[in-house]
Structure 1
Amino acid sequence: MELAANRWFSSWFDTPYYHILYKNRGDEEAQQFMQNLITFLKLPQGASILDLACGKGRHSVYLNKLGFDVTGVDLSVNSIAYAKQFENENLHFHTHCMCKPMDEQYDAVFNLFTSLGYFEDEKENRESILSIKKEIKEGGWGVIDFMNVVKVIDNLVPSEVKTVQGITFNITRKVENGYIVKDIEFEDEGEEYAYSEKVKAFTLENFLYYFEKAGIELVHTFGNYNLQPYDKIKSDRLILVFK
């Protein structure tokens, strides 16, 4: 078995298998969310946006097409290498860890699709939120799009099997020590692989604690990509809009 490193995201996100497993993530839904968000925030054409933990850059590319100056950053070297094919004078990609602030400030900082809470060290999770605060221009906006852990835990599917592009992924899920853990095992071309995803089960109360420590003002809380109100039990997402 090829086991994930302690910093699981460093290895799993850099494999082609991560992108195979999640290849059916809906671009249409993501684009509608971006439209709703920029309309709500009233971001002017040409505004600067930091897409923090951008992956292969699907949100960044779309935001750039809408007329924004976008910088996408991610820890995955392979994802950034892929995203760089889309670069232009108003779209740039860099390898960067979100727990350290960028040198520049932006009109908006977006952290989308549950891309926070990966670190084992609580200090790094806290520093990630502090970094977002430092990256927002005076009068700018921050947005964190996280899973609604209350609903996720209530509806956790302990095990399932998914076959994508001829690869059968055996997936198990559990809640352990304050983290939602997903174990993924599969075989490809005679080789066996095992990876784990481990995300801190941040609740709204957890975020409010971090925000208070960082001097962040929570302005709006939404529960889905149509920006409807957050409901602790029913909402699919926990979307935090702050200054």
Structure 2
Amino acid sequence: MELAANKWFSSWFDTPYYHILYKNRGDAEAQDFMQNLVRFLKLHKGASVLDLACGKGRHSVYLNKLGYDVTGVDLSSNSITYAKQFENENLRFKNHCMCKPLEDKFDAVFNLFTSLGYFEDERENFESIKAIKEEIKEGGWGVIDFMNVHKVVANLVPREMKTVRGIDFYISRRVENGFILKDIEFEDEGEEYSYTERVKAISLTQFKKYFEAAGIELVHTFGDYQLRPYCKEQSDRLILLFR
């Protein structure tokens, strides 16, 4: 099995350009989602939370401010290095690949903002879900926040150009062999760059198959960060709460 560190996401996510392109992701929306989620789950203050594939830690930091003991893990060394500036006795960050379980167990394990499905090998997506199950304490919760692939595919923008911090990012999208692919090309300081994001188009039906095989109970399904019901045609997100 190919090591995750050698795959496309370990290089693209570790570049500064990834964070430049996606710098406008809304903190207010993310914080609103976290408040709605912990309120719905009735997580007590001081509960332990694993933020799986935490990136630069924006969800982890906010969850910690809400009073939770948070561990954030991510494959990107640069993201973890950045996040470590926010560490305290109840907030810690470390490098880790989600397809292998941590030794610790948590009251809640959050996998947010479509941070699953990057593996080309189907087994590694399944291994990641099994790892989440092993990381949840008895009576705890797992949460996967994924894109609603049906709406994404139906509304796919084939080509666009975004200018961020003076860099023109040329983006093209397509669906191929069950993956949603995004080609990103740009030039900076005379150097040309090209990356391709690949995310498995995992539907609710496929997630249910994963869960059944892993012995996971899907308890709630929501379609947005306000935790409204999931609608295959209209929902922006596919949010799964399980145990």
Within a 5 Å distance, the mapping from 1:181-192 to structure 2 comes to 181-192=181-192
Q: Distance in 2 between matches of 1:77 and 1:9?
A: 12
Q: Is it true that 1:23 corresponds to 2:23 in the alignment?
A: yes
- Give the aligned partner of residue 54 of structure 1: 54
* CA distance in 2: counterparts of 1:110 and 1:34, whole angstroms: 10
CA distance in 2, matches of 1:207, 1:15: 30
1:155-170, aligned counterparts within 5 Å?
155-170=155-170
Match of 2:150 in 1: 150
SS in structure 2 at match of 1:231: coil
Task: Name the counterpart of 2:214.
Answer: 214
Match of 1:229, SS state, is coil
What does residue range 1-243 of structure 1 map to in structure 2 within 5 Å? 7-243=7-243
Q: Secondary structure at the match of 2:67?
A: coil
In 2, distance between residues paired with 1:176 and 1:39? 39
**Per-residue deviation, 1:123:** 1.0
Q: Tell me the amino acid that sits aligned with residue 33 of structure 2.
A: F
Q: Give the CA deviation at 1:122.
A: 1.0
Higher RCO (CA-CA < 8 Å; seq separation 6+): 1
With normalisation by structure 2, the TM-score equals 0.98
Q: Alignment partner of 2:123: what SS?
A: helix
Secondary structure, counterpart of 2:70 in structure 1: strand
Runs (4+) of structure 1 exceeding 2 A deviation are: none
Where does structure 2 lack aligned partners over 5 or more consecutive residues? Answer: none
CA–CA distance in structure 1, aligned partners of residues 148 and 6 of structure 2: 25
Secondary structure at the aligned position of 2:199 is classed as: strand
SS in 1 for 2:172: strand
Q: Distance in 2 between matches of 1:114 and 1:141?
A: 18
Cα distance in structure 2, aligned partners of 1:234 and 1:158: 20
CA separation in 1, counterparts of 2:158 and 2:51? 32
Q: Distance in 2 between matches of 1:209 and 1:238?
A: 15
Deviation at 1:6, TM superposition (A): 6.4
Q: After superposition, what is the alpha-carbon deviation per residue over 1:71-94, rounded to whole angstroms, capped at 9, x for unaligned?
A: 000000000000000000000001
Per-residue Cα deviation, 1:41-70 (whole angstroms, up to 9, x for no partner)? 000000000000000000000000000000
State the secondary structure of the residue aligned to 1:138: strand
Number of corresponding residues: 239
TM-score by length of 1: 0.98
Identity fraction in percent: 77
In 2, Cα distance between equivalents of 1:95 and 1:197: 21
**1: CA distance between counterparts of 2:62 and 2:184?**
30
